[in-house]
Amino acid sequence: MLLGVLLWSTWTAAAPATPSGVSRSHGLMPVPASLQFREGRLPLTAAFSLSVRGPVDRRLETALQRMLRRLEGRTGLTLSREPTEPEKATLLVEVKSPGNPLPTLGDDESYTLEVDGNRATLRAAQVVGALRGIETLLQLLQGDRDGWFLPAVALSDRPRFPWRGLLIDVSRHWLPLEVLKRNLDGMAAVKLNVLHLHLTDDQGFRVESRRFPRLHELGSDGLYFTQQQLRELIAYAADRGIRVVPEFDMPGHVTSWLVGHSELASVPGPYSIERKWGIFDPTLDPTREEVYPFLDAFLGEMAELFPDAWMHIGGDENTGNHWRVNPAIQSFMASRGLADSHALQTYFGDRVAKILQKHGKRMMGWDEILHPTLPKDAVVQTWRGPKALAESAKQGYAGILSWGYYLDHMLPAGLHYTVDPLPADGKRMAEEANRWIPVSWYHRFQFKPPETSVREKDAPRVLGGEACMWSEFADTETIDSRIWPRLAAVAERLWSPREVTDVQDMYRRLELLRVQLEEHGLLHERTREVLLRRLAGAANPGPLRVLAELVEPVKFYDRPVQFQAATQGMPLTRLVDAARPESPEARALRTSVDELLSDAPRFARNAERLTQAFSQWRELHPELSHLLERSPALHEVRPLGEGLLALAQTGQEALSSIRSGTAPRVGWREEALQRINEAARPQGQVEFAIIQPLRELVLAAVLQPEATTLSAAAWHAWVKAEALAAIPKPPEKKK
């Protein structure tokens, strides 16, 4: 008998309690700056009506239409579109001024929302604040046996940081307009306000240039945004209070430019679009005078297309190799006294800065652009970390943090949530973040306490942060599941007060949001099912689903390391693409084990639930093995079938020993840990996300005689420490 979604069903996050009185637990994400629940509720029925006071622009009107549609979609009610008198409306929206027609850094995003038994009132200084408040209102909607309602609340809200973004890389994998649109809707739902479009890179030039059509015609396989589409995108984003900042990465990361314009290159062509992943040598030649009129014309064209005040020119990861091998470049450097590639890049950067200035744009770039001659109005985006952020702030530059927010690293939301652009205590932040390092990286990476941190007086220069979604292993179908729901944790970090740090509560709300986000057409949940059905072919996908829920893609850059044949053309339809970056099942299992072990020496809590899980894994083994055996697309993950069985068996043995108080036999500890270590090996670029709680159960079984002699907390800490010590060190690399 196969239990299918047993785990899922047992462990899904419980809904927040919704007593009809004052409710303390809520589903708001990000958490508002100030929030007070009151007695009462405002019923939401088909009689719902709406009124707007103040200057109503098209942006607010369409936003309210979308709000009504979302309320209808959730409730099944058909709501009236007729405007109502303010006094009679269920929802009154009051705006003082329309604000900037295009969202702009520093817009007033604050709002207040009051709900009592008779009405809801949303007030904002500017339309953009009302947009934020509408999302809060939608998150307040609840239902119970008496119907739909908004709980009575008094809420006052504003963002902590003014720059809260998501970078999407549309170069490495092409992502069409509808992908960006649905993600913009998701961003708006969690109050993000910047979409950073990484438009060009070695693997694709994704924007139409009418001045230099060979750029997109030869550099994109025909997969690029027309200028009309980009205008549509910018308007769509603006309607949601989101800026679009374009990035044209240079002088490195330019292979796709050089396919049609090898005359700009540091080494003679021809060039072809790069199909692999990594850091490559092709580079613009900063010593050729004709490069600058070209950039002037191209960036001028882009400056007209993109209305935002900033333009990002990348500047990262230039290897300098092509500069070193070109004698003309070397002699140019010698004649100008440019000591090294860094100096030449600075020379290049200065000239590009002047071009941007001419076109009325402020410069933005990665850490590498930081140098003394950088214009003071530039923004430095840091992938290097707190020290780099502190340094650029100290030198007077505005900065945004992306270090710690790389969604493509497949790390847990808890880690991203812990990373703070302006932490109260940098050392403590590093310690907390280390608790979230995946066990497969325990011996390979640890956050270090930052050597320096942003000085108090420089803090206002830290504008916020941007999560990054690099797209080596994400395409139209899978990218949403790589972005969501984890992005919401970053969004909360950048919006909510610094003091909002309850990770468990964040995860509870994340589970609610995960389902809500589907109303935007985001595929983060549904693609997994599609891929699993396809992988299972004609067979029942049930056992595969259970397996997929317990694994995660390998972390950081392990995927390209483990699968070096990866290219742009590789289909992203494997188990690793179906697996969630962070498995809620695995997290639930970890929590269950934690609770069980905290319950020493009784060990009653969750014992039944864990026994059921282990039984399920054992019972599905024959069907799962058969499936893994039979489907060629699953051959690469075949050992996971045996791995899961071994983990089930080990878990059951440990649990019986713990519960019965019977010491395991001699030698069992080593055998059990050995089995776990075997199962922990990545297969097909996925790894079990349930390894460490299994180790803890084994150690708990071994150490349980001591459980009565120590406090539960002390004993549990000891078990956890021993389990960490049991993580095998990776073999030394041979030279």
Write out the catalytic residue numbers: 317
Q: How far is the CB of 572 from a copy of itself (least distance, A)?
A: 9
Q: How far is the CB of 57 from a copy of itself (least distance, A)?
A: 18
222, 327, 372, 571: residue in contact with a copy of itself (rule CB under 8 A): 571
- Is 500 a binder of a copy of itself (CB under 8 A)? no
- Is 232 a binder of a copy of itself (CB under 8 A)? no
Contacts for 218-223 with beta carbons within 8 Å, 24 or more apart?
Answer: 218/259, 218/260, 219/256, 219/257, 219/259, 219/260, 219/273, 220/174, 220/256, 220/273, 221/174, 221/273, 223/174, 223/176
Peptide bond into 270 cis (omega under 30): yes
Q: How far is the CB of 81 from a copy of itself (least distance, A)?
A: 8
- Is 354 a binder of a copy of itself (CB under 8 A)? no
Termini Cα distance of the chain: 51
Q: Which is nearer to a copy of itself, 389 or 550 (CB)?
A: 550
Distance of CA 237 to the CA centre of its chain: 19
Q: One symbol per residue from 141 to 160: x for binding a copy of itself (CB under 8 A), - otherwise; what is it?
A: --xxx-xx------------
Tokens of 465: 């942060």
- Is 102 a binder of a copy of itself (CB under 8 A)? no
The answer to whether the beta carbons of residues 30 and 491 sit under 8 Å apart is yes
- Is 717 a binder of a copy of itself (CB under 8 A)? no
Q: Which is nearer to a copy of itself, 482 or 508 (CB)?
A: 508
- Residue range at the interface with a copy of itself (CB under 8 A); choices 250-258, 321-329, 416-424, 568-576: 568-576
- Is 101 a binder of a copy of itself (CB under 8 A)? no
Q: How far is the CB of 2 from a copy of itself (least distance, A)?
A: 5
- Is 533 a binder of a copy of itself (CB under 8 A)? yes
Tokens of 719: 């078990």
Q: Which is nearer to a copy of itself, 104 or 625 (CB)?
A: 625
Q: How far is the CB of 520 from a copy of itself (least distance, A)?
A: 11
Half-sphere exposure of residue 661, counting CA atoms within 13 Å on the CB side? 9
Q: Which of helix, strand or coil describes residue 371? A: coil
Closest CA to 256 of 224, 304, 286, 210: 224
Q: Which is nearer to a copy of itself, 511 or 594 (CB)?
A: 511
The answer to whether the beta carbons of residues 40 and 23 sit under 8 Å apart is no
Half-sphere exposure of residue 270, counting CA atoms within 13 Å on the CB side? 6
Distance of CA 418 to the CA centre of its chain: 13
- Is 610 a binder of a copy of itself (CB under 8 A)? no
49, 75, 229, 562: residue in contact with a copy of itself (rule CB under 8 A): 75
- Residue range at the interface with a copy of itself (CB under 8 A); choices 195-203, 319-327, 370-378, 623-631: 623-631
Which residue type is seen at 692? Q
Backbone angles phi, psi at 151, to 5 degrees: -70, 150
Tokens of 9: 């069903």
Closest CA to 521 of 177, 205, 192: 177
19, 278, 537, 705: residue in contact with a copy of itself (rule CB under 8 A): 537
Tokens of 128: 């953009």
Q: How far is the CB of 116 from a copy of itself (least distance, A)?
A: 21
The answer to whether the beta carbons of residues 422 and 456 sit under 8 Å apart is no
Within 369-388, the residues that bind a copy of itself by CB under 8 A are none
- Residue range at the interface with a copy of itself (CB under 8 A); choices 70-78, 282-290, 297-305, 438-446: 70-78
Q: How far is the CB of 478 from a copy of itself (least distance, A)?
A: 12
Task: Tell me how far apart the alpha carbons of residues 449 and 711 are, in angstroms, rounded to a whole number.
Answer: 31
Q: Which is nearer to a copy of itself, 250 or 510 (CB)?
A: 510
Closest CA to 552 of 589, 509, 607: 589
Q: Which is nearer to a copy of itself, 65 or 97 (CB)?
A: 65
Q: How many residues bind a copy of itself (CB under 8 A)?
A: 62
Backbone angles phi, psi at 597, to 5 degrees: -75, -25
The answer to whether the beta carbons of residues 261 and 212 sit under 8 Å apart is yes
Tokens of 651: 């878990």
Q: Which is nearer to a copy of itself, 260 or 542 (CB)?
A: 542
Q: How far is the CB of 135 from a copy of itself (least distance, A)?
A: 17
Which of 406-438 are b and which e, b meaning 16 or more Cβ less than 10 Å from the residue's Cβ? bbbbbbbbbbbbbbbbbbeebeebbebbeebbb
- Is 394 a binder of a copy of itself (CB under 8 A)? no
- Is 77 a binder of a copy of itself (CB under 8 A)? yes
Within 157-196, the residues that bind a copy of itself by CB under 8 A are 178
- DSSP letter for 66, please: H
Q: How far is the CB of 586 from a copy of itself (least distance, A)?
A: 17
350, 525, 594, 619: residue in contact with a copy of itself (rule CB under 8 A): 525
- Is 512 a binder of a copy of itself (CB under 8 A)? yes
Q: Which is nearer to a copy of itself, 14 or 666 (CB)?
A: 14
Q: Which is nearer to a copy of itself, 512 or 640 (CB)?
A: 512
Which residue in the block uniquely carries the two structure tokens 């950088």? 374
- Counting beta carbons within 10 angstroms of the beta carbon of residue 729, is it exposed (0 to 12), middle (13 to 18) or buried (19 or more)? exposed
Within 625-654, the residues that bind a copy of itself by CB under 8 A are 629-633, 635-636
- Is 667 a binder of a copy of itself (CB under 8 A)? no
- Is 570 a binder of a copy of itself (CB under 8 A)? yes
- Rg of the chain over CA atoms, in angstroms? 27
Residue 426 neighbours by CB under 8 Å, 6+ apart: 386, 449, 450, 453
1, 604, 666, 725: residue in contact with a copy of itself (rule CB under 8 A): 1
In what helix (H) or strand (E) does residue 668 lie, and over which residues does it extend?
A: helix 668-680
Can you give the binding site for a copy of itself, defined by CB under 8 A?
Answer: 1-6, 8-10, 12-16, 27, 69, 72-78, 81, 143-145, 147-148, 178, 511-512, 515, 518-519, 525-527, 529-530, 533-534, 537-540, 542, 565, 567, 569-571, 573-574, 612, 629-633, 635-636
